[in-house]
Amino acid sequence: MCGIVGYIGNKKAKPILIDGLKKLEYRGYDSAGIAILNSGEINVVKSKGRIAVLEDKLKDISLEGTIGIGHTRWATHGEPSDINSHPHISKNGKIAVVHNGIIENYIQIKEFLLAKGYQFKSETDTEVIAHLIEYNYEGDLIKAVIKTLNELEGAYALGVLSTDNPDMFVAAKKDSPLIVGLGQNENYIASDIPAILKYTRDILILEEKEVACISSDKVEIYNLLGEKQQREVFHVDWDVSAAEKGGFEHFMIKEIFEEPAAIKATISPRIKDNEIVLDNLIITDEIINNCEKIHIIACGTAYHAGVVGKYIIEKLARIPVEVEVASEFRYRDPIINEKHFTIVISQSGETLDTLMAMREAKKKGSLTFAIVNVVGSSIAREADDVLYTWAGPEIAVASTKAYNTQLAALYLLALTFAKRKGLLDQHSYLNYLSQLQELPNMITSVLNEKKEIQKFASEHFNAKSIFYIGRGLDYALSMEGSLKLKEISYIHSEAYAGGELKHGTIALIEEGTLVVASLTQEQLFEKMIGNVREVKARGAVVLAIAQEKNADEVAKIADAVITIPNVDSVLAPIVAVTTMQLFAYYVAVMKGNEVDKPRNLAKSVTVE
């Protein structure tokens, strides 16, 4: 996520802004900038790269003002670059804006403003906010900001400076975090508490769709009707480390709890008027209809997302899909040509095996399409096209929210392919869209079961080996559940197709062996009930994952059941995986492991 800081008081703003941005570096970013208001002028200094690059630029510039805003950017619209960095300035140079979030209707607003004679310098969605506030400005900044916010769709945390208002600045929040820090004759804004903990522990938490007018000696909060709001002061008693994790014990659990927001950010901007809209994709109807095969190439968790992708694309779009780990694909002289289409999946966009495999596919004439979380990363830049997952930075080595958003992207693609091939009637299509938009709430329901999952983990964290079994999409899901457990708990684990147990592995099942069984797939439910009976008969302890409608039946044979809300089987993995992520997390915590930085692992494997 981007990071925002703001200051107004009697000290020089520059060092306070830079210090605050440094405290937000852990959030992940690719560029940084500040804007300071002094003597009726707004001075903006911003640059691609680390804050140190910005500091270098600032060395020869004396910025004397005592009011300013700052920003670290995690790119979503527009590659990391100086010009795409924030703050963004309005046409007349009188308004500066920093923004965290995604403006879903920025293209329509941009077209409106272009027709009004505004020019745009950047590729960002944020720049439209600066110009639109100027367009709406009639001498009252708060009113102009409120009018603008009522015209925006999407998520925002904002800081707004105006040359006409040297004694105050404005902040606003919807679906992106923003707090106000209260000092003595000085006040602050920040995306997160660590940025201001050094100066104050007294904060006001902005609620949804609220605007704050911040001067050095007072803070006024309004709703989007312009009505003043009251707000209790919240005293922060966290230490810095806890504050960086938003009060969570680890980044991993914080990122699991970010999944509803991450999925909403990835899906919501791409469903407009009951239609999936994937802007400027190269995938034409001709490509889809002429495509003989789709290759999905990735590593690790991203590969497991690809296995889910295979099942759903073949089921919905009836296109043959071959999914393979990148390190195998690239060395086996793969049979691939211009009639094949290649999807590469990567959270970091820098995994060397995946990058090299994509180059191999390109060399053999295949169109390449990337599903990536980091804007402007190597894979994103080299692919013929890219569909970004807007999960925000993933700090923990074990991938969680990125996996969920990779599935979200694959659902959007599979449904688009199926619709364009005329294989999906309108009723089914709309039903899928409605369930896609319900996913954040479904995952929230799973997160609300964390206590039951934590309890089961506390009973089994000393297991020597844990088997994950499932059929169809539940088998693909089991692969990811097993990897999540292995990489942070260091417990041996294997994922098995339920129907495959009898061909060997069941010999390993003995009294007390722990088996995690996924039973979310309607058509395979009875078969999986049989597999659970098989392992129970040999003494296994079974943790079952099932849809609510089957919970009672599964509870009769399993030792514990974690339920997910009733959902179409195709969409079940994106909800059910959260139960497995939580289970793996609590087991690793019980074992006292370094959950965010497991032994031997790196967040991005940029070597062979």
Q: Is the Cβ–Cβ distance between 310 and 325 less than 8 Å?
A: no
**Cα–Cα distance for residue pair 234/246, rounded to 1 Å:** 14
Closer residue to ligand AGP in complex, CB, 380/561: 380
Q: Does 604 bind ligand AGP (CB under 6 A)?
A: yes
Residue 34's nearest CA partner among 83, 66, 71 is 71
Q: Does 487 bind ligand AGP (CB under 6 A)?
A: yes
Near ligand AGP by CB under 6 A: residue from 43, 81, 354, 520: 354
Q: Does 605 bind ligand AGP (CB under 6 A)?
A: yes
Q: Does 377 bind ligand AGP (CB under 6 A)?
A: no
How large is the C-alpha radius of gyration of the chain? Answer: 25
Near ligand AGP by CB under 6 A: residue from 34, 157, 358, 398: 398
Q: Does 78 bind ligand AGP (CB under 6 A)?
A: no
Min. distance of Cβ 347 from ligand AGP in angstroms? 3
Sequence-distant contacts of 245-252: CB under 8 A, at least 24 apart: 246/192, 249/589, 250/396, 250/585, 250/589, 250/595, 250/596, 251/395, 251/396, 251/596, 252/396, 252/398, 252/400, 252/488, 252/585, 252/595, 252/596
Q: Does 301 bind ligand AGP (CB under 6 A)?
A: yes
Q: How many residues does the chain have?
A: 608
Q: Does 300 bind ligand AGP (CB under 6 A)?
A: yes
Q: Torsions phi, psi of 9, nearest 5?
A: 180, -150
Q: Does 31 bind ligand AGP (CB under 6 A)?
A: no
DSSP for 549-597 reads: GGHHHHHTTSSEEEEE----GGGHHHHHHHHHHHHHHHHHHHTT--TTS
Near ligand AGP by CB under 6 A: residue from 190, 196, 265, 397: 397
Min. distance of Cβ 312 from ligand AGP in angstroms? 19
Task: Using the rule CB under 6 A, give the single segment among 182-190, 243-251, 299-307, 447-455 that binds ligand AGP.
Answer: 299-307
**Cα–Cα distance for residue pair 401/380, rounded to 1 Å:** 19
Q: Which two tokens stand for residue 148?
A: 């603008």
Q: In the block, which residue shows the tokens 């889910």? A: 308
Residue 65's nearest CA partner among 109, 104, 16 is 16
Near ligand AGP by CB under 6 A: residue from 84, 266, 347, 366: 347
Min. distance of Cβ 301 from ligand AGP in angstroms? 3
Q: Does 327 bind ligand AGP (CB under 6 A)?
A: no
Residue type, 77: H
Q: Is the Cβ–Cβ distance between 318 and 291 less than 8 Å?
A: no
Check 11, 421, 527, 603 and give the catalytic one.
603
Active site residue 173: no
Task: Using the rule CB under 6 A, give the single segment among 18-26, 392-400, 512-520, 580-588 that binds ligand AGP.
Answer: 392-400
Near ligand AGP by CB under 6 A: residue from 191, 399, 435, 493: 399
Closer residue to ligand AGP in complex, CB, 346/569: 346
Near ligand AGP by CB under 6 A: residue from 34, 203, 211, 302: 302
Closer residue to ligand AGP in complex, CB, 54/485: 485
Closer residue to ligand AGP in complex, CB, 399/578: 399
Task: Using the rule CB under 6 A, give the single segment among 203-211, 269-277, 346-354, 408-416 that binds ligand AGP.
Answer: 346-354
Q: How many residues bind ligand AGP (CB under 6 A)?
A: 15
**Cα–Cα distance for residue pair 33/70, rounded to 1 Å:** 6
DSSP for 382-434 reads: HSSEEEE-------SSS-SHHHHHHHHHHHHHHHHHHHHTT-S-HHHHHHHHH
- Within positions 531 to 570, which residues make up the interface with ligand AGP, using CB under 6 A? none
Min. distance of Cβ 410 from ligand AGP in angstroms? 14
Min. distance of Cβ 286 from ligand AGP in angstroms? 30
Closer residue to ligand AGP in complex, CB, 300/470: 300
Min. distance of Cβ 578 from ligand AGP in angstroms? 14
Min. distance of Cβ 305 from ligand AGP in angstroms? 8
Residue 298's nearest CA partner among 321, 280, 268 is 321
Min. distance of Cβ 132 from ligand AGP in angstroms? 36
Closer residue to ligand AGP in complex, CB, 354/482: 354
Strands (E), 26-143: 31-38, 41-48, 67-73, 88-89, 95-100
Q: Does 481 bind ligand AGP (CB under 6 A)?
A: no
Closer residue to ligand AGP in complex, CB, 28/166: 28
- Identify the DSSP state of 170: E
Q: Which two tokens stand for residue 558?
A: 């399993």
Q: Does 348 bind ligand AGP (CB under 6 A)?
A: yes
Q: In the block, which residue shows the tokens 């692992």? A: 601
Q: Does 521 bind ligand AGP (CB under 6 A)?
A: no
Active site residue 450: no
Q: Is the Cβ–Cβ distance between 414 and 312 less than 8 Å?
A: yes
Min. distance of Cβ 397 from ligand AGP in angstroms? 5
**Cα–Cα distance for residue pair 49/551, rounded to 1 Å:** 50
For helices 401-420 and 259-267, angle between their N-to-C axes, nearest 10 degrees: 30
Chain residues binding ligand AGP by CB under 6 A are 299-302, 346-348, 351, 354, 397-399, 487, 604-605
Active site residues: 2, 603
